[in-house]
Structure 1
Amino acid sequence: MTQDQDPELVYLRYHLDNNAPVDLLDFTDSILAIQSEYSHFLKGRGRHGTNARLNIKKVEEGSIVFEFMEAVLPTAIVAAGNANTLIDFGKHLKNLAQSLTTGSQIPAEGYNQESLSNISKIVQPLARNPDSNLGLSVMTDGGQTIFNNCTFNLNSTEGNALQNRAQGAKETLRESISRTEESKEHVLLRLARLDREADSKQDRGIIEAFEVNKARKLLFDDDSIKARFMESDQNAFKCLYYVDAIAMYQEGRIIAYRITNLHDVFEAED
């Protein structure tokens, strides 16, 4: 079975094994959050303006079991390059849920306010019912093939842990988005580009104390600081610069470093 499989042959199965009545609002919010996250997931992959939605394929008796299948226009399928988005979506949900239940690093695709809110709502019926279990899986019609990398099960304790970590991650995100500057002293700067013109807009550098392997725009508090960078006979790009710097943020992302002091310059050791 490949990911180029015809989408209508694959479905997402939601199985809530509950030991007590489920609050209707919690359950409704859970189902709506799956659709919300599915739409958000597709938008992140360039699927804008399509009719890509999830339809309920089947409801089973006993425990609460819903089967969702992709309902998309033919043009949307072409735009997706015939990739089976339900399989990718299942992987996305599994990776996000596992990171939050285990406390590991949250995948970049899920580290945003909307995804964290959605995954928290998805498990809400589980979190309120002790000894209950929630399973999400992607499989072919009839269940002949189950895609294991898209399948996960959570108990009530794990559901509560997921929600607590999701809330903490959302608070961290809010703080980072509201932050405009962060100052650090005595950090190492590695140059990626340095023009001789004092007012150049092209200077770039990496400060791993702020962000690993990301070259950002360099600003200098005054021309004398930049002049000290230029006066060395050493190859500037083989040197490390011991500096005081201020990371400047916009919407939670570093956009530039302002260099306020240069303490020392030395060649990096192999």
Structure 2
Amino acid sequence: MASSAWIDRDRFLEASYSGLMKCGQGYITIELNLADPIEIGDFVGLFAAIGDQYDRFIKSSRPDLAGESKIFIKEIRKGSIITEIFPFIPASLIEFMDEAIIIAMFAQFFGKQIKDFILGKTEPNATKNDLKDYLNVVQAVANDANGHATISTTTFEKGVWRTRADFSFTTKEAREAAATIEKQRLDLDRTSSSDRERQLMVFKRSDRGDAGLGIRSGERVTIEDIDRRDLPLIYASELAEQRIKHEIREADRNIYKLGFVVDVNIQLRAGRPIAYRVTAVHSVIDLPDDESP
């Protein structure tokens, strides 16, 4: 029977399958039913992808933490492979929520991403690495003549193991998801830009050091008329850099309570701003107290 006792990372990595079943609170099961033999790269890629996404899921909840997992192939028979993934959950995260809840939340979150791709919906916050992982998850089934995959979670609740099928997809659906993912990957590779004049720019992170022209400086700014997010700053003009660096290094005013009226070239990827290239600084103004960070 499972115990709620938490085990540390070293004990988790050394634990056997039976040991994890005794002390763990849940695991994820992947069942592949395939008409054709699976290519080993697709097989390995599937589990590596889910492990990577689990790690990112944990980090999104607690950026200071990293997740890990152990994978066991439970059963292989003709046309079917059953694999179980036991995720390691850091103790400091368990302080905030139950281990079984964390596992269920991850499966639901990841399942929604795959379902959206099947429906032709892109994921606006997905990175290239995310898209690579999603593609690896569906690739084995997409390459099969008539395959099917089911991903479920099993959690220990009130003294009983309970299994829930979180999501599944067929070869047809996997191919639809793969097509959506590939389209989004191509869109991410297309970077364009647009110009805006006399925009109010406010610093969220500054740096006293010099920055090379045309490369990201490490500084971050907001231009709320364009995007409420803070984005990387790129100096496209020496005069603009000199004017801004003067305020950072030599002026008596607080850089975070100043507004810079600038001309800016917006770097876009898939139609979304990803950085600002400042080409000119027209003026520097003091922000009202209620507008400063």
Match of 1:138 among 139, 153, 166: 153
Does residue 247 of structure 1 match 2:266? yes
Name the SS of the counterpart of 2:146 in structure 1.
coil
Name the SS of the counterpart of 2:141 in structure 1.
helix
Task: Measure, in 1, the Cα distance between the counterparts of 2:149 and 2:91.
Answer: 30
Does residue 77 of structure 1 match 2:91? yes
What is the aligned partner in structure 2 of residue 263 from structure 1?
Answer: none
Which of 44-53 and 157-166 deviates more? 44-53
The alignment yields a C-alpha RMSD, in angstroms, of 4.3
Q: Offset at 1:52? A: 2.6
What is the aligned partner in structure 2 of residue 8 from structure 1?
Answer: 24
Q: Offset at 1:82? A: 4.4
Does residue 89 of structure 1 match 2:89? no
Q: Offset at 1:249? A: 6.2
More strand by share: 2
Q: Offset at 1:120? A: 0.7
Does residue 66 of structure 1 match 2:80? no
Q: Offset at 1:145? A: 4.4
> Are the aligned partners of 1:99 and 1:107 in contact in 2 as well (CA < 8 Å)?
no
> Are the aligned partners of 1:55 and 1:71 in contact in 2 as well (CA < 8 Å)?
no
> Are the aligned partners of 2:142 and 2:171 in contact in 1 as well (CA < 8 Å)?
yes
Shift in CA distance, 184/49, structure 1 to aligned 2, threshold 3 Å: closer
Name the SS of the counterpart of 2:115 in structure 1.
helix
What is the aligned partner in structure 2 of residue 229 from structure 1?
Answer: none
TM-score computed with the length of structure 2 as normaliser: 0.57
Shift in CA distance, 91/255, structure 1 to aligned 2, threshold 3 Å: farther
Deviations 1:157-208 (A, max 9, x none): 11112122212212222323xx5xx2268x9x99798xxxxxxxxx975446
Task: Measure, in 1, the Cα distance between the counterparts of 2:168 and 2:64.
Answer: 31
What is the aligned partner in structure 2 of residue 167 from structure 1?
Answer: 182
Task: Measure, in 2, the Cα distance between the counterparts of 1:183 and 1:28.
Answer: 42
Task: Measure, in 1, the Cα distance between the counterparts of 2:36 and 2:222.
Answer: 59
What is the aligned partner in structure 2 of residue 235 from structure 1?
Answer: none
Map 1:18-29 onto structure 2 (within 5 A): 18-29=34-45
Match of 1:56 among 65, 72, 80: 72
Count of residues in correspondence between the two structures: 215
Question: Where does structure 1 lack aligned partners over 5 or more consecutive residues?
Answer: 194-202, 222-243, 261-270
Task: Measure, in 2, the Cα distance between the counterparts of 1:175 and 1:165.
Answer: 16
Question: Where does structure 2 lack aligned partners over 5 or more consecutive residues?
Answer: 7-22, 203-220, 238-262, 282-293
What is the aligned partner in structure 1 of residue 134 from structure 2?
Answer: 119
Q: Offset at 1:58? A: 3.4
TM-score computed with the length of structure 1 as normaliser: 0.61
What is the aligned partner in structure 1 of residue 172 from structure 2?
Answer: 157
Task: Measure, in 1, the Cα distance between the counterparts of 2:44 and 2:230.
Answer: 45
> Percent identity between the aligned chains?
14
Q: Offset at 1:152? A: 1.0
> Are the aligned partners of 2:264 and 2:276 in contact in 1 as well (CA < 8 Å)?
no
Which of 28-37 and 48-57 deviates more? 48-57
